[in-house]
Amino acid sequence: MSGSFRFSASLSPLQSREFPRMPFLKPHIHVPNHVPALNPMTAAHSRVVLPENLKVKLSALPITMASPAAMTEVEGLDVDMVTEAELKENGFRSTRRTKIVCTIGPRTCEFEQIEALAVGGMNVARVNMCHGTREWHRDVIRRVRQLNEEKGFAVAVMMDTEGSEIHMDDLNGAESAKAEDWLDIDFGIAEGVDFIAVSFVKSAEVIKTLKSYITAQSPESRIAVIAKIESIDSLENLEEIIQASDGAMVARGDLGAQIPLEQVPSVQQKVVQLCRQLNKPVIVASQLLESMIEYPIPTRAEVADVSEAVGQQADGLMLSSESAMGLYPEKALAVLRSVSLRIERQRREEKHLDTADLPIVSSSMPAIIFEEICNTASRMAKKLEADAIFVYTKTGQSASLLSRNRPDCPVFAFTPTTSIRRCLNLRWGLIPFRLDFSDDVDSNLNRTFSLLKARGMINSGDFIIVVSDVMQSIQAIKVP
């Protein structure tokens, strides 16, 4: 064989029943000598700005997930303590790119238990309406919100519906879905969840109907609708379903009951690739670490399964019973975190070529040009070995386009809206911050550098690519 394998002789945490936290390795960050220290405002060659007639109005950009009626005005920078500590101690390259969804259940429903999951790496908390009462789920959702408010986390909430197909002749017409499903949806809208995951989607009309219903019930809400791919019908109409949705979940448990088991891996890969092409986040779910419901360590086959999903660069991995009712929810979360970090680092070290064919997803010419700016920023970051990409976004769209490119370095996404910050937390490679900013790029950069340097999260000399959907520009700059 022409290739070689890299392996470590040290004891893996997966082999230890004590299961210590996996240490982060100090990365070697290289800023090439040929890259000069650039002044973003005076060095013309370091900045590209669209002419006024080609700029996209912010109102014309799609909002990447939920946006609230009002913005919370808070001075400073909102970031959770885990991200802050990780960047201080281990640098940019240590950050995990694959996001983790944890189902909350009897084992993990108290405030302290939810906090432990957030500290351990949970990005999205899932509530499954198949189990428990609405009052119980309401308490869980409010504890997640309390945790975010008190500790600076950006944990999003995903509500999973019970599973009946959704049909309406019109918003005032007869509904064929079970009354319980619609009551659950009304509950999710009232509680302001960030995502609603819909089971057994047969066509794009199901998604469009639910989106119309959400808009009619709460015009100011833009809750994201996630299509669960788990039936033959959904596979037959896969592209149109994903196109209509705000994201997808590969629900492999039910899917494996409807198609031959040996086809599930290829279907998973197809859905992951299609979602990336269409710029939709995708979650791989079901039985990732099933044995850890009862045992403190996973099987080797489970670790290989998780590694494959990370290698496919799915946006997120999901724990179901493992975190809801399993005996070792924090250990299961630690396995997903440690495996993700190792596989991501291995891909970077081996310099895997990204051969994904990413078609243009924007419709208008100005939006297409800005999409190409985001694509260019990702290529620049790779070629110039940038330490990070900074993106200032009011809608979340530019951050999602950067995530879609799967850049080598992390993407710091700054948004003034709390709910958009939460929803961006499902996107691969994004580190979302809540930050009020102006239309003055100079002021935004100076303020951001000052805040991050004061917290020890960046250092002078770090090389940054900067993108803004306010000025629709791209810059290259070293932190002063």
Domain holding 64: CATH number? 3.40.1380.20
What's the token pair of residue 197? 């995951």
The number of angstroms, rounded, from the C-alpha of 407 to the middle of its chain's C-alpha atoms is 14
**Could you tell me whether strands 47-49 and 463-468 are parallel, antiparallel, or unpaired per DSSP bridges?**
unpaired
What's the rounded Cα separation, in Å, for the pair 464 and 459? 11
Closest residue by Cα to residue 400 from 224, 170, 175: 224
Identify whether 7 is part of a domain.
no
pLDDT in tens, the chain (480 residues): 434 333 333 334 444 444 333 333 333 333 333 433 334 333 333 555 555 554 555 545 554 544 333 333 335 889 888 888 888 888 888 899 999 999 999 999 999 999 999 999 999 999 999 999 999 999 999 999 999 999 999 999 999 997 655 544 444 444 545 667 889 999 999 999 999 999 989 999 999 999 999 999 999 888 999 999 999 999 999 999 999 999 999 999 999 999 999 999 999 999 999 999 999 999 999 999 999 999 999 999 999 999 999 999 999 999 999 999 999 999 999 999 999 999 999 998 888 767 677 999 999 998 999 999 999 999 999 999 999 999 999 999 999 999 999 999 999 999 999 999 999 999 999 999 999 999 888 899 999 999 999 999 999 999 999 999 888 889 999 999
Rounded to 10°, the helix 179-191/134-151 angle is 20
If asked whether residues 392 and 244 sit together in one domain, one would say no
Tokens of residue 21, six digits: 């936290």
Pair (114, 154) in one structural domain: yes
Query: Do both 395 and 282 map to the same domain?
Result: no
Q: Which residues contact 377 (CB under 8 A, 6 or more apart)?
A: 389, 402, 465, 467, 474
Q: Are both 322 and 243 inside the same structural domain?
A: yes
Q: How far apart are CA 291 and CA 283, in angstroms?
A: 20
pTM here? 0.84
CB atoms within 10 A of CB 430: 27
Residues forming beta bridges with residue 128, ordered by sequence position = 160
33 located within any domain: no
Answer yes or no: do 181 and 74 share one domain. no
* Single residue among 349, 371, 390 that ends a domain in this structure: 349
Whole-angstrom Cα distance, residue 103 to residue 128?
Answer: 7
- Looking at the fold, whether 330 and 373 belong to one and the same domain comes out as no
The number of angstroms, rounded, from the C-alpha of 4 to the middle of its chain's C-alpha atoms is 32
What DSSP state is assigned to residue 41? T
**Structural domain contains residue 355:** no
Query: H-helix or E-strand containing 380?
Result: helix 365-383
Range of the domain at 291: 96-349
Alpha helices in 152-284 (DSSP H): 179-191, 204-217, 232-236, 238-244, 252-258, 264-277
231 lies in some domain: yes
109-145 burial string, b = 16+ CB within 10 Å, else e?
beeebbbebbbbbbbbbbbbbeebebeebeebbebbb
One domain, residues 311 and 378: no
State the DSSP code for 392.
Answer: E
Is residue 283 included in any domain, yes or no? yes
The Cα 344–Cα 356 span in angstroms is: 17
Place of tokens 């419901």: 293
Does residue 395 belong to any structural domain of this protein?
Answer: yes
Cα separation, 93 vs 344, in Å, equals: 10
CATH number of the domain bearing residue 110: 3.20.20.60
Residues 342 and 466 in one domain: no
Q: Say how many residues make up the chain.
A: 480
Domain count, the chain: 2
Closest CA to 61 of 433, 398, 316, 342: 398
| Residue 20 domain-assigned (yes or no) | no
Shared domain check, 279 and 198:
yes
- 343 Cβ contact list (under 8 Å, min separation 6): 307, 310, 311
| pLDDT at residue 73, as a whole number | 35
DSSP secondary structure string for all residues of 335-379? HHHHHHHHHHHHHHHTT------------SHHHHHHHHHHHHHHH
Give dist(CA 457, CA 86) in Å, integer: 9
In this structure, the dihedral spanned by the alpha carbons of residues 99, 104, 109 and 111, taken in order and rounded to 10 degrees, is 20
Cα dist from 169 to 173, 177, 206, 209, 210, whole Å: 5, 12, 11, 9, 12
Q: In what order do the strands lie in the sheet with 473-478?
A: 47-49, 473-478, 463-468, 388-392, 411-415, 430-435, 77-78
Contact 332, 103 (CB under 8 A): no
Hey, is 257 helix, strand or coil?
A: helix
Claim to verify: residue 295 and residue 160 sit in the same structural domain: yes
Helix (H, G, I), strand (E, B) or coil at 245: coil
For residues 391 and 286, membership in a common domain is answered with: no
Query: Who contacts 269 (Cβ-Cβ below 8 Å, separation ≥6)?
Result: 312
- Same domain assignment for residues 432 and 377: yes
Within-domain flag for 2: no
